[in-house]
Structure 1
Amino acid sequence: MTLVETGTVSGGETVLFWVIAPIMVIASLGLLFARRAVHAALSVVLVMICLAILYVAQDAPFLGVAQVVVYTGAIMMLFLFVLMLVGVDAADSLTETIRGQRWVAYVAGLGLALVLGGVVAASTLPRPAGLTAANIDSNPVGVARLIFSDFVFTMEITGVLLVVAAVGAVTLTHAERLRPKATQRDVLESKMRAYAAGKGGVGQLPAPGVYARSTSATVPALSGTGEPIEASVPRVLRIRGQERTIGDVSPETVAAVARGRAGAGTAGIHGGDATRAVGQSGLPGMRGEAPPTPQLPGSPGAPATLEKASRLALEHTDGAAKEEEL
């Protein structure tokens, strides 16, 4: 299933290519159109695995194993780890900050497509020399000979770029602060200034959920006027689009709010009907049934179960005391 010296492709290799190629194309499109960064990273993992299979099919087992171990197993897992640290709730801004950058990107993409097309044409149009002579020692030896002889300058440039990227990441991470670190007092004063300007509140956000109708974190709370409080739903759920409306979980609450706004005060969520529907405990100063009076064992009217439980407890206590004496 390898490319022979005559330049022909075997039937097995053709079947393998037409099975792997559509999967790679679909995964590449998933990378471009995925709305979540995690899904895009998983699409890249699938592309790399398919590429490793093609490497092995072309008598390059070392490249195939390195593709899986180095790229798929290490670098992509590092990407996913960073995404988990940053958080899936990070929203990307689609606003074009630099004017004209899209046209520059289009031209650069077209140039990259022409370069890749030229590389593919240069590698397929001449008659292939065969892989037997290239891998006469072994595949790793053949790869090393090409890297450190014909492409030594490219390898040096790649090494310099990796070192610069690592040093730059460390420098940006441990850079000096542009402004003093905000203390707890500074945070409090900023919140008070925002509250005075009408841009926020100083207290904690209300808990999500609509009374006893729902305790889900995806449902917003209701204000005193019957308006849903969007800030009561966690920001992560709102960005993911998992927030539900009050009408989804409690249509009767929406109807009660509408009746209250229409002037039917007794039928609203804070009307007389809602007040009368709440049971009262009967405590001093409150209407309702009297609270139950606890009955001690041995008192008149005490249930037989209480008498039995009391007798068993006394027997157990006496038995424990006798064991301690022995």
Structure 2
Amino acid sequence: MTPSTAEAVLFWVLAPIMVLAALGLLLSRKAVHAALCVITIMISLAFLYIAQEAPFLGVVQVVVYTGAVMMLFLFVLMLVGVDASDSLVETIRGQRWVGWIAALGLMAVLTGVVGRAVYPDAVGLTEANGPGNPVGVARIIFGEHVFGLEVVGALLVTAALGALVLTHRQRLKAVVKQPERAAARVAAGARLTPLPAPGVFAGRNAMDVPALDPQGRPIEESVSRVLRIRGQQASTTPYRADAAAIAAADGGDGAPVVADPGSTTGPTSDVALGGASTRTETQP
């Protein structure tokens, strides 16, 4: 069966991509990059399956292998974590030379096998897909290759159990819950209330402007630690100067009225409340 022009173009476009992805799988140092290379190969294989009149295999290749198995593989990588540091100390002397010699020998054997292989003429999938492509694939898998299917299923179950065992970590100390954390903070004398929000809301609501306490002093903790380290914290001097100018305009001496800690201050002039005149004084 001679392939059509579209099939030939599709093959010669996808084949170099698959070869480059396979080389990336072998040469990449990070497991995530290797997984992305495998995903590229699987998607390309799905296109080739569909072009060869095997739509069921193409859909399974994308949905099952690319969408489920490889996503599970990436999830396990993120869950377990992979150390990016490489050890430059060889525990077995000369192991690299032995590996290169073995790789060259395997390449020579594979080249000889491929060179002597004889392939019959392609006959297409018309007869196999007579009752339908999914039915034909099911008869081959569950009829001729049922033993291999069971072996692969057992291997996948073993791999899943191994991943669960590797990701399980034995707890070395007791779990510290929220009541214990709160009691520890109280015992240590740490702050119990949430941090104040940044910004002088009467003048400027910004993340880089510290909040002011009742005495008009800036609260450093209200600004993000990152901004403070970078030196991007704004000064509250203009806002304190505005407060002083307002106080001076009201007849004061130019300084804001600040009460002693623990005391309550209020206006000393008469305040009209529903026609009655009430005078409020400072209460200690």
| Moved segments of 4+, more than 6 Å | none
C-alpha distance after superposition, 1:34-86 (max 9, x if no partner): 34332222222111111110111111111111111111111211222233334
User: Which runs of structure 2 are paired with 1:16-35 in the superposition (5 Å)?
Assistant: 16-35=10-29
Counterpart CA distance in 2 for 1:15 and 1:37 is: 32
Q: Is the 8 A contact 2:79 2:167 kept in 1?
A: no
Q: Which moved more, 1:149-158 or 1:48-57?
A: 149-158
Which amino acid in structure 1 is aligned with residue 4 of structure 2? S
| Structure 1 residue 164 displacement after superposition | 2.7
C-alpha distance after superposition, 1:114-144 (max 9, x if no partner): 458747975x621223210111111111112
| Structure 1 residue 98 displacement after superposition | 4.1
When residues 128 and 28 of structure 1 are mapped into structure 2, their CA distance, relative to the original with a 3 A threshold, is same
Q: Which of 56, 59, 62 is equivalent to 1:68?
A: 62
When residues 42 and 164 of structure 1 are mapped into structure 2, their CA distance, relative to the original with a 3 A threshold, is closer
Q: Which of 103, 107, 113 is equivalent to 2:102?
A: 107
Gaps of 5+ in 2: 175-225, 233-240, 256-266, 275-284
Q: Root-mean-square deviation (CA), in Å?
A: 4.3
Counterpart CA distance in 1 for 2:70 and 2:168 is: 24
Q: Which of 151, 159, 168 is equivalent to 1:157?
A: 151
Which amino acid in structure 1 is aligned with residue 144 of structure 2? D
Larger RCO (alpha carbons 8 Å, 6+ apart) = 1
Counterpart CA distance in 2 for 1:89 and 1:172 is: 15
Establish whether residue 299 from structure 1 lines up as the match of residue 251 from structure 2. yes
User: Which runs of structure 2 are paired with 1:64-143 in the superposition (5 Å)?
Assistant: 64-87=58-81, 90-99=84-93, 101-102=95-96, 103-104=98-99, 107=102, 110-111=105-106, 114=109, 118=113, 122=117, 125-143=119-137
What is the TM-score when the length of structure 2 is the normalising length?
0.55
- Look up the SS of the partner of 2:126 in the other structure: helix
Counterpart CA distance in 1 for 2:145 and 2:116 is: 20
| Structure 1 residue 104 displacement after superposition | 4.8
When residues 73 and 92 of structure 1 are mapped into structure 2, their CA distance, relative to the original with a 3 A threshold, is farther
Counterpart CA distance in 2 for 1:137 and 1:181 is: 59
When residues 114 and 69 of structure 1 are mapped into structure 2, their CA distance, relative to the original with a 3 A threshold, is farther
Q: What's the % identity of the aligned pairs?
A: 55
Per the alignment, residue 207 of structure 2 pairs with none
C-alpha distance after superposition, 1:187-207 (max 9, x if no partner): xxxxxxxxxxxxxxxxxxxxx
| Structure 1 residue 25 displacement after superposition | 1.6
When residues 155 and 300 of structure 1 are mapped into structure 2, their CA distance, relative to the original with a 3 A threshold, is closer
Establish whether residue 43 from structure 1 lines up as the match of residue 37 from structure 2. yes
* Equivalenced residues, count: 200
Q: Is the 8 A contact 2:244 2:254 kept in 1?
A: no
Counterpart CA distance in 1 for 2:57 and 2:163 is: 28
When residues 157 and 89 of structure 1 are mapped into structure 2, their CA distance, relative to the original with a 3 A threshold, is closer
- Look up the SS of the partner of 1:93 in the other structure: coil
Counterpart CA distance in 2 for 1:215 and 1:35 is: 38
When residues 133 and 54 of structure 1 are mapped into structure 2, their CA distance, relative to the original with a 3 A threshold, is same
| Structure 1 residue 18 displacement after superposition | 0.7
User: Which runs of structure 2 are paired with 1:174-323 in the superposition (5 Å)?
Assistant: 181=172, 296-297=247-248, 298-299=250-251, 302=254
Counterpart CA distance in 2 for 1:56 and 1:140 is: 13
The structure where helix makes up a greater share of residues is: 1
Counterpart CA distance in 1 for 2:142 and 2:110 is: 24
Counterpart CA distance in 2 for 1:56 and 1:22 is: 18
Counterpart CA distance in 2 for 1:137 and 1:182 is: 62
Q: Which moved more, 1:17-26 or 1:83-92?
A: 83-92
- Look up the SS of the partner of 1:133 in the other structure: coil
What is the TM-score when the length of structure 1 is the normalising length?
0.49
